[in-house]
Chains A and B, each alone.
Chain A
Amino acid sequence: MTTPLLDVPLLDVRGLSIALPPGADRPLAVDNLTFTLNPNEILCVVGESGSGKSMTAHAMMGLLPAPHVRVAGGSLLFKGRDVLTMPETEQRSLRGGRIAMVFQEPMTALNPLMRVGRQIGESLREHTDLTAPARRARVVELLAQVGLPNPAELAEAYPFRLSGGQRQRVMIAMALACQPDILIADEPTTALDVTTQKQILDLIRSIQAERHMGMMFITHDFGVVAEIAHRVAVMRHGKLVEYGPASDVLNRPQHPYTRQLIASVPHYIEHRDDHAKAGAPLLVADKVRKVFNVGGGLFKKSKEVVAGDDLSLTIHPGETVGLVGESGSGKSTLGRSIVGLIKPDSGRILFEGTDLLSLDRKGFRPYRRAVQMVFQDPYASLNPRHRVGDIVAQGPVAFGEDRSKALARARDLLAMVGLDGSAADRFPHEFSGGQRQRIGIARALAMEPKLLVADEPVSALDVSVQGQVLELLDDIRRRLNLAMLFITHDLRVAAQVCDTIAVMRRGRIVEMGTAREVFTHPRDAYTRSLLDAIPGKSWHIPDDLQKVPAGAH
């Protein structure tokens, strides 16, 4: 490893501007960006989607989608030499050799038809003179370094055999292959479950410290920033708005945008009062079980996957129950069973005393209105060819309401979720993610439900928008005295909006109790590991940016 010269930063970005093609929402994706990265330092670049944070990394790696997007000005100095003006061959040897990158999506970043070991060996073949056996040995060594079990065996495996977390480890091993001076990580943990995220963050931190690399870590999550950053750069609309040591930015943020971002980090509110469970339960799920048959065909027996087993849960009027679990834990299966999108194999779902599962299509119809759903993906949940007013009014019209009346009410509802009157006449593609999620909420409310099932309603949204949508949901539920089943993978979000929390793992509910109990005295080991994995838990959000407790209204 080269000895770092202290007066020359490892990476010096000076006035970097990246131009977008004409017709984009702004002329410059990145506007006059200046920052430095020193050896043995983790620089977190924070921003919401479209802030230009990934573009900056892509410019460094020569990944800008030419010819539409190009560098319009400025320089990228690596150890004092401008990467942008180097000849192509020199740039290539730099990339993968001195500067390496880890991508967000581990599921697509590996070539599915190439053995893991060979993929890692490729950059060794490109950038070093090692012989084939030496390369193989090095690959196994790298796989061991990133904490993978049976590295020799794993090198011979195809990517589909590995889990998301394992693939991300392979990606990191690949990036480390040539001992780079700079590692760029573009949201490397965003696609992972929270416990896996913790492991990967720990790994990244220890590897960085061990090798004294300079690291540029791109993220949207201030919790993650609090875990690993030495210095922080906050970007918005392509511009750098705040830049400084992590302790300053996290604890004494100056720029209003940084303050807004930090204030929207979901966190547990200590003072939320326990929900007073009044009267008969609205919904009781009793030993619900669902098995999916995967694969199979005319001559092949299908495989059974238990998505949910022995799921029992009670929701009282006006109560918000959080269903928390990692991907594949069966939380969506339960939610979908309650709204009638999935038919469970056994068990009962009682709504005001009536077993929904015993009803046929016709008998279930009246209950459709009472139980409504808010979906996860605001881009997929609205029909792109229908006007927003129609989307909201379609449900009531299907139940025989007069069309013009339903449309008039749709406008009222859109106003209620914070959209202006003209929204009804426009198409979904004219709205942002957060606005679309509001439309989805209005659509559910149009049916005048008693229970709202919200399936990861904010996980596809930017943090600041997330906060607004959560507030809206909380506000509406209180005004209409709605009961809500809130499905999420994020304990922080659950803590913010839920009265009661049920933790799911592998198709079972492992713990259920009031939010206060679950957070302060978790009984189950898995709940404890989930709580432990929350990024940035040791960071105390500045008091003036803490949320007003929901119970204090």
Chain B
Amino acid sequence: MMKSDFWRAFVRNKGAVLGLVILIAIVVLAAFASVFFPGDPWEMATAPFQPPLSEDALLGSDMLGRDIASGIAHGARVSLLIGLTSTAAALAIGVTLGALAGFHGGKVDDAIMRFTELFQTIPNFVLAVVLVAIFTPSLTTIVLAIAIVSWPPLARLARAEFLSLRTREFVQAAITTGQSSTSIILRQILPNSLSPIIVSASLMVATAILLESSLSFLGLGDPNAMSWGYMIGAARTVIRQAWWMSVFPGLAIVLTVLALNLVGEGLNDALNPKLARSRG
């Protein structure tokens, strides 16, 4: 019953449905990239500098004759992979620390929050660049770097939720009926704090994709993985002669981030019914 309620609320938001459709399309594109575009996206497919709608390359080719469309399809894999795994890692760090801080309060809270602020005082992107530069660019290091710079907001959010839920009477009832702290955190509080965390995690996937693109643009991407950011970065010198090389990967980024934001918004409406109603 609760599931169907959730769907009804989600579907009511037209933008969210549109976002979900785009997102599914991108996932399908990523999953079947090798079927749609067999062969290595790094290989030369046609003559260099082919404009869009030419014979061998629907979206044109770059200065080394690589197919842009193929690059976008294979790049979708990298973007989604990095977006999802780095968000998962950020969730693991952020929610754990935030939950501990919020539940225990006092000195534990102080220590964890000062540690969190340490990360928040350093600009995200600069820290990510430094981390990737130190650990040589690869998919793993990029994912880790993005996770390390993006967990603090999640920790703050989880902490706030835990702080307020901890004083709720059902949590106190759990204490008086002798349940252990672990069980209270995992079974009583966490399920009730998930909605806002899920919402901000969905938006964080979008931020992670942007971060990865920016890193690749600066040449700090994984040299073995075709990614949207890399494509734009490589094409920037010839943007005036060959606009299609940077515009199509750019559009891919815009669409993905937009779709994720729309879905996040929809999740927010569906998971926080009070908010959704006030928007009428």
Which A residues have a C-beta under 8 Å from some C-beta of B?
A: 339-341, 365, 368-369, 371-373, 375-377, 380-386, 394-395, 398-399, 427, 440, 443, 446-447
Distance (Å) between the CB of B190 and the closest chain A CB?
10
Q: A380-B170, A398-B177 are in contact. List 16 more A-B contacts (CB 8 A).
A: A340-B175, A341-B172, A341-B175, A341-B176, A368-B176, A369-B178, A373-B176, A375-B169, A376-B169, A381-B172, A383-B174, A383-B188, A383-B191, A386-B187, A394-B179, A447-B178
Query: What would be 5 A-B contacts, judged by CB atoms less than 8 Å apart?
Result: A341-B176, A368-B178, A382-B173, A383-B191, A394-B177
**Nearest residue in A to B1 (C-beta to C-beta)?**
A427
Q: How large is the interface on B (under 10, 10 to 19, 20 to 34, 35 or more residues)?
A: 10 to 19
Given contacts A384-B192, A385-B192, A398-B183, are A443 and B169 in contact (CB under 8 A)?
A: no
Q: Restricting to B154-210, which residues have a CB under 8 Å from any CB of A?
A: 168-170, 172-180, 183, 187-188, 191-192
What 1/0 flags go to B15-58 for Cβ under 8 Å of A?
00000000000000000000000000000000000000000000
**Nearest residue in B to A446 (C-beta to C-beta)?**
B177
Given contacts A385-B191, A385-B192, are A380 and B168 in contact (CB under 8 A)?
A: yes
Q: Are B175 and A395 in contact (CB under 8 A)?
A: no
**Nearest residue in A to B189 (C-beta to C-beta)?**
A383
Assembly CA distance A440 to B174 (angstroms): 11
Interfacial chain B residues near A447, Cβ < 8 Å = 177-178
**Nearest residue in B to A392 (C-beta to C-beta)?**
B177
Distance (Å) between the CB of A283 and the closest chain B CB?
15
Interfacial chain A residues near B187, Cβ < 8 Å = 386
Which B residues have a C-beta under 8 Å from some C-beta of A?
A: 2, 168-170, 172-180, 183, 187-188, 191-192
Interfacial chain B residues near A385, Cβ < 8 Å = 191-192
Interfacial chain B residues near A381, Cβ < 8 Å = 168-170, 172-173
Q: Are B169 and A399 in contact (CB under 8 A)?
A: no
Assembly CA distance A380 to B166 (angstroms): 11
Interfacial chain B residues near A368, Cβ < 8 Å = 176-178
Partner of B173, one of A365, A375, A399, A427: A375
Given contacts A383-B188, A384-B192, A385-B191, are A373 and B173 in contact (CB under 8 A)?
A: yes
Assembly CA distance A380 to B170 (angstroms): 6
Assembly CA distance A244 to B135 (angstroms): 84
Distance (Å) between the CB of A400 and the closest chain B CB?
10
Given contacts A375-B169, A381-B169, are A398 and B180 in contact (CB under 8 A)?
A: yes
**Nearest residue in B to A390 (C-beta to C-beta)?**
B187
**Nearest residue in A to B178 (C-beta to C-beta)?**
A368
Distance (Å) between the CB of B105 and the closest chain A CB?
13
Q: Are A382 and B174 in contact (CB under 8 A)?
A: no
Interfacial chain B residues near A376, Cβ < 8 Å = 169
**Nearest residue in B to A440 (C-beta to C-beta)?**
B173
Q: Are B174 and A394 in contact (CB under 8 A)?
A: yes
Partner of B172, one of A375, A384, A399: A375
Q: Are B178 and A399 in contact (CB under 8 A)?
A: yes
Distance (Å) between the CB of A487 and the closest chain B CB?
14
Given contacts A383-B188, A383-B192, are A395 and B177 in contact (CB under 8 A)?
A: yes
Given contacts A383-B192, A384-B192, A385-B192, are A339 and B176 in contact (CB under 8 A)?
A: yes
Partner of B178, one of A373, A398, A440: A398
Assembly CA distance A384 to B191 (angstroms): 9
Assembly CA distance A386 to B2 (angstroms): 12
Q: Are A443 and B172 in contact (CB under 8 A)?
A: no
Q: Are A382 and B170 in contact (CB under 8 A)?
A: yes
**Nearest residue in A to B168 (C-beta to C-beta)?**
A380
**Nearest residue in A to B167 (C-beta to C-beta)?**
A380
Interfacial chain A residues near B170, Cβ < 8 Å = 380-383
**Nearest residue in A to B192 (C-beta to C-beta)?**
A385
Q: Are A443 and B178 in contact (CB under 8 A)?
A: no
Distance (Å) between the CB of B119 and the closest chain A CB?
19
Interfacial chain A residues near B191, Cβ < 8 Å = 383, 385
Q: Are A380 and B169 in contact (CB under 8 A)?
A: yes
Q: Are A395 and B179 in contact (CB under 8 A)?
A: yes
